[in-house]
Amino acid sequence: MGYIDRFIHNSGLDIAESFDAAPDSALNYAHRRPTWTQAEVVALMEALYPPPTEMPGDQAVLRQQLSSAFLAGAAESCDELLLRPPRSLVMAASKAARTLLKNRAAHQHGRLWHAFMAGSHAGRATAGFDATDGWKPAPSMRLHGAIPEAARGRSSSAADITSLRLFVRQPLTESGESQQALIAAVLERINAHDGAPHSFRYLTGQKAESADTFRQSFESETGLAFEPRAFRTYRLNLLAQADAFINIRVGMSESSAFELSYHVFRGACTPVLFLVWKHSPIKTTLLKDLGNLCDVTYLEFEHADDLCEGIGKFFLRCRSQATSPMRTSMRPSQT
């Protein structure tokens, strides 16, 4: 390892010391800051490092900027998911900086943005970022400022970009066959509005689950053994992508309250739709009247058909966020 590599690696380890530090206060987790933009990332790095001097030492400074941008992206994404970044990202940051700097045609502002997004993608990886030796930009990456598809972890089709991404929360551990049938009927009423006015992309699938099926569905979808940490990370990855949060309440669900709280106070805080079965009313005071915290709609029903009109009005109000900053930010993959 050369002198510059050792310097960048050691300074990266210094930054990583904060990865293991406990938060100063639980209040740090109260609200999520707005999504970072390329201009903000560039401004941060330019504030931290001296401007180029047209001297040979510039290459070292530029590489250090890129390494720091990568680590900043990793730390930001892990912070959103309440995860602790692994120290293996330090070596990945150094490798990424060296690779990006080889593109002589790219502007440093574009490289910084790509380093940040690549770090963010690495930080979100459910199983960590262990394959550091093989890191390289995807062939489709354009370093002049466009966001790479590989970093977003999703299809680039026009239909996918403009569709409304739905996170549908249903009871799992406390749901039996009767609740499963009712949930299936509600899902049918939701799907009836697909394309009016937005096409839907179901982040959580369209299958009604129960306590007997959801673990197997998770393992089939992810290839991972079911355990609480993996399941939680997977769900929060999906929730971070949501343009709308739909909570089907046909029974008691502590996990629903957890995911809703994360969405409102830590996540995207996009519109929320409560579909509440009359025989399972909301009794928890803190889940009522959330209008001062988020865009929320409460609909009560006896039969699934009772929801048709209200669901339609909700989706008419929902704006597909294809052109918003959140849409152009990095999204986690569903792998």
| CA 230/CA 215 separation, integer angstroms | 11
DSSP string, 91-119: HHHHHHHHHHHT-TTS-HHHHHHHHHHHH
The DSSP 8-state label assigned to residue 251 in this structure reads: S
All CATH 3.40.50.450 domain ranges in the chain, comma separated: 158-317
Beta carbons of 98 and 87 less than 8 angstroms apart: no
Omega cis (within 30) before 50? no
- Residue 130 has a pLDDT of 38
Which residue, among 212, 200, 203, has the nearest Cα to 171 in the 3D structure? Answer: 212
- Residue 287 has a pLDDT of 92
Q: CATH assignment of 158-317, given 3.40.50.450, 3.40.50.300, 1.10.12.10, 3.10.180.10?
A: 3.40.50.450
309 token code pair:
């009109």
Per-residue model confidence as pLDDT tens for the chain (335 residues) = 454 555 555 555 555 555 544 444 433 434 445 567 888 888 888 888 877 777 766 778 888 888 888 888 887 777 666 566 666 677 777 777 777 777 665 678 888 887 888 777 777 664 343 333 444 444 333 333 333 333 333 433 444 556 899 999 998 876 677 788 899 999 999 999 998 888 999 999 899 888 888 898 899 888 889 999 999 988 988 888 899 999 999 888 888 999 999 999 887 889 999 999 999 999 989 999 999 999 999 999 999 999 999 999 999 888 644 334 434 333 333 33
Residue type, 152: R
Based on the number of CB atoms within 10 Å of its own CB, is 207 exposed (0-12), middle (13-18) or buried (19 or more)? Answer: middle
Question: C-alpha angle 151/103/148, rounded to 5°?
Answer: 15
- Residue 8 has a pLDDT of 55
Residue type, 288: K
Centre a 10 Å sphere on the Cβ of residue 317 and count the other Cβ atoms it contains.
Answer: 12
For strands 200-202 and 296-301, give the pairing: unpaired
